[in-house]
Structure 1
């Protein structure tokens, strides 16, 4: 049975990924910083409270994975935070550093500790969660966009470096995803721009050619595909699951 680790896996996109891999008969290990959502995960999943920006915690996580599973086939570096929604001149350096440490630094640490296990096996799949913000940028989201652009640069480098070891690396770029996290973004942007939540929502939806938000399940289905033999020659790719973004600035 194949083994998958999903960081930030107890809620939102990560939880949908975990459910999809479980359905595909993977052994599932999820980490999160939210103890309440971790406790609500299915009993047959491995669950651990881990801060992906803390290297000692990440090192301990992979030591535990090695003891329990003796290896790892797929890793989804999904953990991240939205960061502040403010004009760049109002971004606190502490908020900038926190967003990059979790969203980009966490992806780096996940790859750093997963790659030796996969090299030893001569195969593996690394899937990084980026964002359409990592392709186009977004106004009033400087830390988040910078972190997600960095995730794509990290992915491209990993694909080149790890490919000779049989390890494929790709990035999924979700667009606007229905759910509590996006609701927080919508409300913060509405306040920052003097708009209503519904106006911001319609701006995001109308900025896609399909005219709609995506679901967490849409992202999860792509992750399972990228981990499958059907994608055995897919590596180093930025794959948007976003309804085709045609205007990334939701105010227009």
Structure 2
């Protein structure tokens, strides 16, 4: 089997790091794209460091994205999988208090980023024998999340982008899917819960239950490794006829 080459944005920590490690554990070449130094740590965790390529990348800057994709293709000889994971939580505030700068920044990272990476990766993906685009959306892109308008709007837009690209790239056998994680354990969701606790006037544990775990059938947060395993499956031969879908990995929170 030909070794996959995978480009993962937001690979410096959290879900992005786990996705990179999961592909790396299966022998893939992995380009690790992010602005922070954490990509070097992620690279060091991959068994066989010659298969890990850390690239400083700002997904909101088109020249940076173009150069990162080109460097990946030049290093590994092609591109098979694009994982658009980079994202930010955005502000927690009622719409009247959301500053335009915060709105624009959330859209730039969460939506413009996937647009730019896919734009510059598409021609290479079309040449692959088994290509896949995996966009990390959120269950918040399917249901309301109070005081999180920029985030939820951006993640819903990612689902629209996914469905459209599935048809646009499908003629060349490129599958395009979105994964919609539920609240995922880690520092990022802790910060969101803390902000929600302050907004609701409750403590951390109560906010976690009210906003996230009470609505989940399994009554728990998600592990980043669970999201990573879904990404690997969607990019595998077993997932070759799955496209245009938004798949929940959320412990049973959203049922559509």
- Cα offset for 1:200? 1.0
Alignment RMSD (CA, Å)? 1.2
- Indicate yes or no: 2:26 matched with 1:19: no
Aligned to 2:240: 232
The 1-side partners of 2:147 and 2:223 are apart by: 24
The 2-side partners of 1:92 and 1:51 are apart by: 22
Preserved CA contact (<8 Å) 1:132 1:240? yes
Write the mapping of 1:130-141 to structure 2, written as runs, cut at 5 A.
130-141=137-148
**Which of residues 125, 139, 142 is equivalent to 2:149?**
142
Preserved CA contact (<8 Å) 1:209 1:246? no
Aligned to 1:80: 87
Preserved CA contact (<8 Å) 1:123 1:165? no
1:77-113 CA distances to partner (integer Å, 9 max, x unpaired)?
A: 0001000011111000000000000010001111111
Structure 2 residue runs of 5 or longer lacking an equivalent are none
The 1-side partners of 2:232 and 2:65 are apart by: 24
The 1-side partners of 2:7 and 2:67 are apart by: 14
1:218-247 CA distances to partner (integer Å, 9 max, x unpaired)?
A: 100100000111111000001000011159
The 1-side partners of 2:220 and 2:142 are apart by: 19
Preserved CA contact (<8 Å) 2:145 2:152? yes
TM-score normalised per structure 2: 0.93
- Indicate yes or no: 2:250 matched with 1:242: yes
The 1-side partners of 2:72 and 2:78 are apart by: 7
**Which of residues 123, 132, 140 is equivalent to 1:116?**
123
Aligned to 2:53: 46
Following superposition, which runs of at least 4 residues in structure 1 exceed 2 angstroms of deviation? 120-123
Structure 1 residue runs of 5 or longer lacking an equivalent are 248-252
TM-score normalised per structure 1: 0.95
- Cα offset for 1:123? 4.1
**Corresponding residue pairs, total:** 246
- Indicate yes or no: 2:164 matched with 1:157: yes
**Which of residues 8, 11, 14 is equivalent to 1:9?**
11
Aligned to 1:167: 174
The 2-side partners of 1:161 and 1:39 are apart by: 34
